[in-house]
Amino acid sequence: MTLTVGDSAPDFALPDAEGNSVKLQDLNGKWVVLYFYPRDNTPGCTKEACGFRDAYSDYQGSDVVVLGVSTDDAKSHTKFATKYDLPFPLLVDEGGAIAGEYGSYGLKKVYG
C-alpha cells in the first residue's frame, strides 16, 4: 500500500511495551508522529529514537503525540526505552501488519 498526501491514516490498535492498547482512533484530533523502525538497539534506529527523545519537549509543547513502532517484542522495547530514556511509547507490531498498511515494511531487496 502506498499512502499519499490527503489519505486517511489506516486505523490500528497496538500494544505498547506495558501491554496497554494504543488506538489511533483515540488520538483523533491530535497531531501524531508515527515512526516505524526495523529494530531496537541498532545504530540507525537508536539515532532516530534519540532524535525524537531530544526534541520531545518541543512536541509536548505543541501537544503532539510521538509513537515508535517496530516488530520487536515488549521486553525488547522496555529495555531499549529504558537504556535511552525514551519518554514516548514504543508499540509492538508483531509480524509487521500495521507497518505494511502504512507502506513502511516489506521484504528487503538486496542489490535491486
Residue tagged active-site, from 17, 22, 45, 92: 45
Instruction: Choose among 61, 59, 64, 69: nearest CA to 97.
Output: 69
SS3 71: coil
Do the beta carbons of residue 53 and residue 90 sit within 8 Å?
Answer: no
- C-alpha–C-alpha distance, residues 14 and 94, integer Å: 9
Annotated active-site residue 45? The verdict is yes
Instruction: Please identify every residue annotated as catalytic.
Output: 45
